[in-house]
């Protein structure tokens, strides 16, 4: 992957198209509603979904949608799993309406005493029940003793399960570098290791970490200001060959400075 091939942007605060234009970003990620809420998800852009899609296309900005954090389609708790499936379906529908390139969702978890096999199968069932018209990108997570996508062996079991689902060909993977660091994944080998399991990496969440390797803590830091090895972050992004989204602290100026930091080292 050459420097000219670097496609990079950030998670936007507010209007994602305006944010991308202000920072000079090719892509932007956004929430469609409160990420900690079960209700009220909609496109609030002027002109609605059609307006956001038109503005993004006119500006040449590629959009990604991050699904709400409350979603957990793996859980054995029906009161969470069923609303999670419904919300994920709505997120995919809204993402399609704005012309998004993908919807990112966390892998979720099952209870401490649950058999993880139930969570993997719940993921398979969820995919079979979804109308996936926009790529669905499952993201690795930082912590959780019974998480579906924290460690490589669990990601492998998840992929084996969902590979049997109708609709699997529309499912991809988002690699978060802070989460990988927190989970204790070797930065020097993580790209090859993930590809060996999933066959693909579709998006990079390029984040430094405030916490030490293997901590299980999901606290992002600005690039070069955390505990991740700076050269390793750049190498992961380069080796993955996928679009890069920053989910680091700060607004558009801070994100633009970090994009410049990345380009200088590319």
pLDDT tens-digit readout, 6-32: 999 999 989 999 999 999 999 999 999
| H or E stretch at 44 | none
Handedness of CA 36, 39, 44, 47 (dihedral sign): positive
- Does a structural domain hold residue 251? no
**Cβ–Cβ < 8 Å for 265, 236:** no
Residue 117 confidence (pLDDT): 98
Q: String of b and e for 216-249 (b: at least 16 CB within 10 Å)?
A: bebebbbbeebebeeeebbbbbbbbebbbbbbbb
Tell me, yes or no, whether 177 lies in a domain. Answer: yes
Give start and end residues of each alpha helix (H) in the chain. 16-23, 48-59, 78-97, 116-129, 152-162, 177-182, 190-198, 230-240, 252-265
- Rounded mean pLDDT of 172-195? 98
Q: 249 lies in a domain?
A: no
Beta pairing partners, 139: 106, 174
Per-residue pLDDT reduced to its tens digit, 189-211: 999 999 999 999 999 999 999 99
Q: Is residue 2 scored above 50 in pLDDT?
A: no
Rounded to whole angstroms, how far apart are CA atoms 73 and 41?
A: 18
Parallel, antiparallel or unpaired: strands 208-209 and 220-221: antiparallel
Q: What is the pLDDT of residue 13?
A: 85
Structural domain contains residue 40: yes
For residue range 227-259, list pLDDT tens digits in order. Answer: 999 999 999 999 999 999 999 999 999 999 999
pLDDT at residue 5 in the model: 86
Whether the pLDDT of residue 213 is over 50: the answer is yes
Burial (CB count <10 Å: 0-12, 13-18, 19+), residue 46:
exposed
- Is 80 within the bounds of a domain? yes
The answer, yes or no, to whether residue 3 has pLDDT greater than 60, is no
Residue 129 lies in a domain: yes
Residue span of the structural domain in which 36 resides: 3-244+261-265
Q: Quote the percentage of the chain above a pLDDT of 70.
A: 98
Q: What is the CATH number of the domain that holds 102?
A: 3.20.20.150
Q: What is the Cα Rg of the chain in Å?
A: 17
Tell me what percent of the chain is helix, strand and coil, each rounded to the nearest 5: 40, 15, 45
Cα angle at 244 between 240 and 249, to 5 degrees?
130
78-126 per-position pLDDT tens digit: 999 999 999 999 999 999 999 999 999 999 999 999 999 999 999 999 9
pTM above 0.95, yes or no: yes
DSSP summary character for residue 45: S
How many Cα atoms within 13 Å fall on the side-chain side of residue 165? 23
pLDDT tens profile 122-149: 999 999 999 999 999 999 999 988 999 9
Residue 252 lies in a domain: no
Q: Could you give the CA distance from residue 120 to residue 56 in angstroms, rounded to a whole number?
A: 35
pLDDT in tens, 39-54: 999 999 999 999 999 9
Classify residue 109 by its DSSP letter.
B
Task: Taking residues 146-173, report their average pLDDT.
Answer: 98
C-alpha angle 189/192/195, rounded to 5°?
140
Give me the long-range contacts of 17-20 (CB less than 8 A, separation at least 24): 17/52, 17/55, 17/56, 17/59, 17/61, 17/63, 19/252, 20/59, 20/61
The total number of structural domains in the chain stands at 1
Q: What is the mean pLDDT of the chain?
A: 97
The stretch 55-75 carries a mean pLDDT of: 98
Q: Is residue 82 part of a domain?
A: yes
Instruction: Give the confidence band of 1 by pLDDT, cuts at 50, 70, 90.
Output: very low
């Amino acid at each position: 992957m050459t420097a000219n091939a670097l496609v990079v942007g950030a998670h936007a605060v507010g209007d994602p198209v305006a944010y991308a234009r202000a920072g000079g970003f090719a892509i932007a990620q956004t929430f469609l509603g409160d990420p900690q809420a079960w209700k009220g998800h909609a496109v609030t852009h002027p002109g609605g979904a059609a307006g956001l899609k038109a503005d993004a296309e006119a500006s040449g900005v590629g959009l990604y949608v991050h699904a709400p954090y409350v979603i957990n389609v793996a859980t054995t708790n029906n009161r969470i799993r069923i609303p999670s499936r419904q919300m994920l379906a709505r997120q995919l529908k809204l993402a399609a309406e704005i012309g998004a390139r993908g919807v990112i969702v966390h892998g979720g978890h099952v209870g401490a005493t649950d058999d993880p096999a139930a969570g993997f199968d719940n993921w398979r069932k969820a995919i079979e029940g979804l109308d996936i018209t926009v790529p669905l990108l499952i993201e690795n997570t930082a912590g959780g003793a019974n998480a579906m996508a924290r460690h490589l062996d669990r990601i492998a079991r998840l992929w084996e399960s969902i590979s049997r689902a109708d609709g699997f060909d529309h499912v991809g993977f988002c690699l978060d570098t802070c989460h990988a660091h927190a989970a204790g994944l070797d930065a020097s080998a993580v790209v090859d290791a993930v590809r060996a399991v999933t066959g693909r990496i579709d998006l990079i969440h390029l984040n430094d970490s405030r916490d030490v390797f293997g901590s299980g803590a999901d606290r992002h830091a600005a690039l070069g200001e955390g505990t991740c090895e700076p050269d390793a972050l750049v190498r992961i992004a380069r080796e993955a060959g996928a679009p890069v989204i920053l989910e680091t602290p700060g607004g558009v100026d801070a994100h633009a400075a970090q994009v410049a930091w990345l380009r200088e080292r590319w």
